[in-house]
Structure 1
Amino acid sequence: MNRREMLLASGAFGLMTRPGILSANPATGYFVPPEEGPHQRTFMQWPANRRVHSDRVFRKMAQQTIADIANAISDFEPVTLLAAKEDHSSARKKLSASVELWDIPTDDLWCRDSGPIFVVNENGDLAITNIQFNGWGERQINTNDSQIARRVSEHLGLPFLKSGLIGEGGGVEQDGHGLLMAHESSWVHDNRNPGMSRNEIEALLLKAYGADRMIWSAGVWDEDITDYHIDSLARFTGPGRVLINLPDDPDPADPFHMAALDTHDVLVAAGLQVDVIPEPVERRIDDEEFVASYANYYVCNGAVIVAEFGDRETDQIAQDAISRHYPGREIITLNVDTLGEMGGGIHCATQQMPAVT
C-alpha cells in the first residue's frame, strides 16, 4: 500500500489540539505570531527585473500568476504589491482595484524570502526582524530585493531588528508557539553564513523568531537555488501539527525524495503529529525540476490559497487535508504552474503582516 492509499484508507486525520504558549525573544519581547493568526495585510512583489526574467513571454506569465494570487487573497484581506513606480501602470492592468501598490522597487517575486518578517510583542507593538536576503547565496541578482525588508520598515515607520543571519524566510518554518523547523542545507552553508556553526545559527534563529526550540533535518545542498527550503515540503498547521508532502513511490536515487523521508522521520521522532499528503502524479508540467508542492500554500483571513496541478485525485486529497487542518476557511485553488517552473509556489510569493490590537 502506497502513501496515497494509506491516507485514503485512514479517513479523517485526528488533529492534535494541545494549547501552545506564545514564546518571545527575551531580549526584545518580540515573536513571530502563527501564520494562521489574523492578518493586517499580505505583502507580495512584482517580478520586473529583465535580467532575472529575460524571456518576455515567461515574464508576463509570472506577472499574471502573481496578479492572480494577489487578486485571490484580496477577496479576504488587504494586499500590498511592491513594485517600482514605473511598473505600476502595467501591474495595475492585471490587478484587482483592491490591491494596493507601493513604490518599492523589486527584482523578483519571492516575498517570503526577501520581504519583511513581522514580529509583535505582548503590547501589540510591531517590528520587522531582518534575516538578510542575498539572492540565495548570490546565485541571483538581488540589488533591490536585498533592500526590501528595510524599505518596508522605513515606509511603515517600524523598528528594524537585525538578526545577524543571512538567509530566507522560506528556509524556516515556525508555529508561533516557540517551535521552528528547518533544513540545515539552507542555513549551514558558506554562501549564506560562512564560518558559523549550526548551534550559532540556531541561537540567532530562535532569537529572531522569539522561539525556544528548533528541529533540524539535513536537507539537500547545492541541488536547487534554495538548498531545499522547508516550506515546499512541510508546514506547521498549529502547535504540534505538521502537514508534509511526500512522493508515493520515492526514488532512492533522488536526493530530494530521500531528504523528504528523512525530514518526515525526524519530525515523527520529535513527537509531532505528522499528516502525509502525496505529491501529484499526473500533472500539466512534465519536468523533473518542476516544484509540485501542495504544502506551499498560503493561509489568509478566512481562506487558504492552494495550488492545483491537474491530478484530480491528489488535488482533491490535498484540498481535503488542508480543509481539515484549517476548518472554517474557504479553500481557493489556483493554477500556479509558472511558479513551479521557477522552483517555488504560493507561500514563497507571499508574506503576512499580523493584525495587532
Structure 2
Amino acid sequence: MKNAHDGDRPGLSRRSLLARTGAVAAALAAGPVLGARPAMAASWRVPGEDEAHRRTWMAWPSSTTIWGADLSKIQADIAKLAREVAAYEPVVMCADGSTAASRARAACGSTVTVTGSIPVSDCWMRDTGPLFRVDDAGGLDSFGLNFNAWGENATRFYGIPASAYDKDRVVAQRVASYSGVPFAKSSVVGEGGGVEYDGDGTLMATESCWVNSNRNPGKSRAQIEAELLSRFGASKMIWLPGVKGQDVTDGHIDGTARYIRPGVVMVQLAGAVRPDVWTANARAVRDVLVDATDARGRRLRVLTIEGPDTLPRIPSGRRAEFLSSYMNWTVTNGAIITTQFGDTAKDAAAKSAIAAAYGRPVVQLNLDGLYGNGGGGAHCVTMQEPGR
C-alpha cells in the first residue's frame, strides 16, 4: 500500500514503523445502504472462522496510484493465494471493471471466479468487506464497519489521496448485494482485521485501533464495545494492548493473536527480526490472555509460536518493516494457508504448531511481495462467507 512515488524506500509499507508525520508513539494499551437497522437480535452471530464456509471473497488490486511500481508483485501474490484457496473452497475475486477482471482471470486461472461488477480500490477484503452473520433458523445477513482507509492513515502516512479508496468505502454493501443478503452499517468505524471472534460469544481486539480518534472520535471504549458485541452476537470483549501510530492499521490483532476455536487462542511471540515495540506488545497480549476467561467462563488455553529470526530473501534494510507474522493465516474448509519466510527451522515449527492446533493441513506460501511491500498477509486479503 505504498505511494506511487515512494519506490523501495524502507519504512513505507502498510505496517511501516515510521509515520511520515514523525508522530510515532507506541501505545500499549460512504455510500447508500439497504437501511441501517437496529442492532441484531440475540440469535444472530458471526461464526468463527473455523466453521464451514460457502466461499471466500478477495479483491484484485489494480491501482497504480496506490501501488506504483509494486503493483505487479502484489498481483502475483494475490493470484497465487487465490489459486491455493480455490483448491479448498470457492473463491470470488472482485475486480475494478472489465479490463482489471480480464487480467485477474488470466493470472488466477479457471478455478477462481472473477467479477468486474463490484468495483474495488485495493486488495484488503478483510478490512473492507462485509461481516456475515447466521441465525438459529439458517438465515444469513451482514454488516459493515464503515471502512475509512484505516482512520485515513493511508493519506497521513503515505500521501495516497483519500479518494483512492472511495470504492473500498462502499464495497461491503456491494458484496452483500451480490450475495443476496441484507446489509446494515455499524455505528462504529473499524476494520475486520481489527477484531477476532470465536463464534461462541467472545471477541478480542486492541484498543489502539478502535478507541482512536481517527476512527471513533467522541466514542468511549464502552460504547464501541457495546456496538461490536451486539453486531457480532457476542457477550464478552477481551481488550488487548496494541501499538498506535507505528503501522497504518494502528495494531490490528490478526497479526499477533488469533482464535483457533472457542476457548483456544494462539499468540506469536516476535522473532529476532521484529523491532522491540512489537516484541513487547506480543508479550503483553499473551499476558492478558493467559489470565482471561471467555463468555462461557472458560479460562483460555493460550498457545504460542515464535516468529522468524531471519528473513534471508529480504534485504537487511527492509527487514524491520516486513510483516513477519505466521498468524496472518486464512482458514479454508480443508486447510490453513499461511506463509513461510525462508527461516527453515522457524517455518517448520510454525507449520507443525498450527497444524496440530487446528487438526488440519497447513500450506505455507512465499508471499514476500504482499507481506513486504504490502505489509499485510493472507488473512488481510480474504473474507469468508459462512455456509448456511
Verify same fold: TM over 0.5.
yes
Which of 233, 253, 277 aligns to 2:305? It is: 277
Shift in Å, 1:326: 1.4
Tell me what 1:11 maps to. none
Distance across 2 between alignment mates of 1:314 and 1:250: 12
In the alignment, is the contact (CA less than 8 A) between 1:84 and 1:105 conserved in 2? yes
In the alignment, is the contact (CA less than 8 A) between 1:250 and 1:258 conserved in 2? no
Q: Aligned pair 1:221/2:252, yes or no?
A: no
**Structure (1/2) with the larger strand percentage:** 1
Q: Aligned pair 1:83/2:101, yes or no?
A: no
What is the number of residues matched between the two proteins?
Answer: 328
- Per-residue CA deviations over 1:281-300 (Å, capped at 9, x if unaligned) read 12122421110100111110
Tell me what 1:33 maps to. 47
Tell me what 2:231 maps to. 208
Tell me what 1:336 maps to. 367
Moved more, 92-101 or 230-239: 92-101
In the alignment, is the contact (CA less than 8 A) between 2:73 and 2:370 conserved in 1? no
- Per-residue CA deviations over 1:80-139 (Å, capped at 9, x if unaligned) read 001122211111111120211122111111110001111111111111111110100112
Tell me what 2:216 maps to. 193
Shift in Å, 1:53: 0.8
Unaligned runs of 5+ in 2: 1-38, 155-163, 293-298
Which of 274, 279, 283 aligns to 1:261? It is: 283
Unaligned runs of 5+ in 1: 1-24
Q: Aligned pair 1:116/2:130, yes or no?
A: yes
Change in 2 beyond 3 A, CA 1:156/1:28: farther
Aligned-partner SS, 2:239 = strand
Tell me what 1:136 maps to. 150
Tell me what 2:108 maps to. 95
Shift in Å, 1:35: 0.3
Distance across 2 between alignment mates of 1:42 and 1:323: 21
Distance across 2 between alignment mates of 1:261 and 1:194: 29
What is the root-mean-square deviation of aligned Cα atoms in Å?
Answer: 1.5
Distance across 2 between alignment mates of 1:217 and 1:291: 20
Which residue type is aligned with residue 227 of structure 2?
A: L
Aligned-partner SS, 1:211 = coil
Aligned-partner SS, 2:107 = coil
TM-score, normalised by the number of residues in structure 2: 0.82
Shift in Å, 1:260: 1.3
Tell me what 2:33 maps to. none
In the alignment, is the contact (CA less than 8 A) between 1:234 and 1:295 conserved in 2? yes
Shift in Å, 1:182: 0.7
Distance across 2 between alignment mates of 1:218 and 1:325: 24
Which of 205, 215, 225 aligns to 1:182? It is: 205
Distance across 1 between alignment mates of 2:60 and 2:272: 37
- Per-residue CA deviations over 1:137-181 (Å, capped at 9, x if unaligned) read 112331111111011122222111221111100000001111111
Distance across 2 between alignment mates of 1:249 and 1:114: 32
Which of 255, 263, 266 aligns to 1:232? It is: 255
Distance across 1 between alignment mates of 2:229 and 2:174: 24
TM-score, normalised by the number of residues in structure 1: 0.89
Aligned-partner SS, 1:261 = helix
In the alignment, is the contact (CA less than 8 A) between 1:250 and 1:257 conserved in 2? no
Tell me what 1:17 maps to. none
Aligned-partner SS, 2:231 = helix
In the alignment, is the contact (CA less than 8 A) between 1:43 and 1:352 conserved in 2? yes
Distance across 2 between alignment mates of 1:148 and 1:106: 7
Distance across 1 between alignment mates of 2:255 and 2:42: 30
Which of 339, 342, 364 aligns to 1:307? It is: 339
Aligned-partner SS, 2:380 = helix
Tell me what 2:25 maps to. none
Which residue type is aligned with residue 64 of structure 2?
A: R
Distance across 1 between alignment mates of 2:86 and 2:77: 14
- Per-residue CA deviations over 1:44-84 (Å, capped at 9, x if unaligned) read 011112211111xx201100100000000111110000112
Tell me what 2:30 maps to. none
Moved more, 103-112 or 63-72: 103-112
In the alignment, is the contact (CA less than 8 A) between 2:336 and 2:361 conserved in 1? yes
Which residue type is aligned with residue 183 of structure 2?
A: F
Which residue type is aligned with residue 181 of structure 1?
A: M
Distance across 2 between alignment mates of 1:249 and 1:130: 37
Distance across 1 between alignment mates of 2:139 and 2:124: 26
